[in-house]
Amino acid sequence: MAKKKNNDDPNSKTICKNRKAFHDYEILDQLECGIALRGSEVKSLRNGKMSIDEAFARIRDNELWLVGSDIPIYPQATYLNHEPKRPRKLLLRKRELHKFAEEAGHKGLTMIPLSVYFSKGLVKVNVAIAKGKKLLDKRESLKKKDDTREMRNAMLKRQ
């Protein structure tokens, strides 16, 4: 019997990642939550179409909302289609929401989605509390990354 790899399983795959998030923000805390979607949105996600580059999370009426994400229209859905850039409700427990909201309420912090993926057939969003980096911080982190890469390469050449 051959085991299936996670990459082949349609119920467990990454849909999209926010690659710029780690460059533009300092990630302080992460939380996995579900998302409320319509049928045509799920079909579009199964095709791997979604963008969270300009998206962020907001707390409104004691609920967490994903704003600015783009799920393109599913062409086969005809008149039952969804609005591509509508705000989508994120699903999590009240206790987690209050803890997360308290942390995010501090000055200068924001909530951004890091990735969207299927887990056991359900769509999950990984949301992070982050602090924006200044230009100097970005340069510093790039320099650190280059230095560690050079040290690692020097160690490999010695061996």
Residue 141 domain-assigned? no
Residue 31 domain-assigned? yes
Residue 99 domain-assigned? yes
Helix (H) or strand (E) holding 15: strand 14-17
Compute the distance between CA of residue 131 and CA of residue 110 in angstroms, rounded to an integer. 6
Which is it for strands 14-17 and 109-119: parallel, antiparallel or unpaired?
Answer: antiparallel
Would you state the pLDDT for residue 33? 94
List, for residues 62-94, the tens digit of each pLDDT value. 899 999 998 888 888 777 778 888 899 999 998
Phi first, then psi: give them for residue 126, nearest 5 degrees. Answer: -95, 110
> How many independent structural domains does the chain possess?
1
Residue 37 domain-assigned? yes
Residue 143 domain-assigned? no
Report the pLDDT averaged over residues 9-34.
86
How far is the CA of 104 from the CAs of 115, 121, 132, in angstroms? 18, 29, 13
Point out which residues pair with 110 in neighbouring strands: 130
Compute the distance between CA of residue 154 and CA of residue 157 in angstroms, rounded to an integer. 5
Whether the model pTM is above 0.85: no
Phi first, then psi: give them for residue 111, nearest 5 degrees. Answer: -110, 125
Report the pLDDT averaged over residues 23-51.
88
**In the predicted structure, residue 11 carries a pLDDT above the cut 90:** no
Point out which residues pair with 124 in neighbouring strands: 34, 117
Provide the pLDDT confidence category of residue 10 given band limits of 50, 70 and 90. low
Compute the distance between CA of residue 143 and CA of residue 159 in angstroms, rounded to an integer. 25
Residue 116 domain-assigned? yes
Assign residue 86 the CATH number of its domain: 2.40.280.10
Would you state the pLDDT for residue 1? 40
Q: For residue 89, give its domain range.
A: 14-134
List, for residues 105-154, the tens digit of each pLDDT value. 777 788 999 999 998 889 999 999 988 888 777 788 888 888 999 999 98
Provide the pLDDT confidence category of residue 4 given band limits of 50, 70 and 90. very low
Compute the distance between CA of residue 24 and CA of residue 143 in angstroms, rounded to an integer. 15
Residue 158 domain-assigned? no
* HSE (side-chain half, CA atoms, 13 Å) at 117: 15
Residue 115 domain-assigned? yes
Q: Which two tokens stand for residue 54?
A: 């300009």
